[in-house]
Amino acid sequence: MSKLEDYFDTHKKYIGQIKVLDDRMDSLAPYELAKLEYLYTKAERIAWHIAGHYKKQYKYYEGLAEIHQGQEYKNVREDQNKSATDGQYLSRITKGNMLCEAADYEGDYISWCGVARTYERAANAIKDIMKAIVKEGGEQ
């Protein structure tokens, strides 16, 4: 099993645990609220790991795009005896194809950053709920 699959499995486990508590949000004891906050922070950490994986992938393909553009330019100029202008335009096609692949990973990276930030906001909201309970005379 790959590292990414492990991250997804762990994420799914945390979301399942969060859902159990979240379904009873209005009747949670303070300990359960604290546990829910803790689970959100764990889910956030995993989401950042997933985002990091996708960032590595998109940076990798961006790097390959540069390499392939240079190789194509060299090929067009030296092997095909075309002009520098032809080399520039033809090598951009190769680079563009690689950047399309990088864009898929970049989109996943941005999405998982958003997921991680959502979990952070959820954990902060739970802190606010616990403060409100204390302010209203309840116990923490």
The mean pLDDT of 117-140, rounded to a whole number, is 87
DSSP state letter for 24 = T
Give the pLDDT confidence of 29-84 residue by residue, as tens digits.
989 999 999 999 999 999 999 999 999 999 999 999 999 999 988 888 888 888 88
Give the pLDDT confidence of 76-124 residue by residue, as tens digits.
888 888 888 888 888 899 899 889 989 999 999 999 999 999 999 999 9
The residue with tokens 């194809």 is: 97
Residue 140 has pLDDT above 60, yes or no: no
Q: How far apart are CA 43 and CA 25, in angstroms?
A: 18
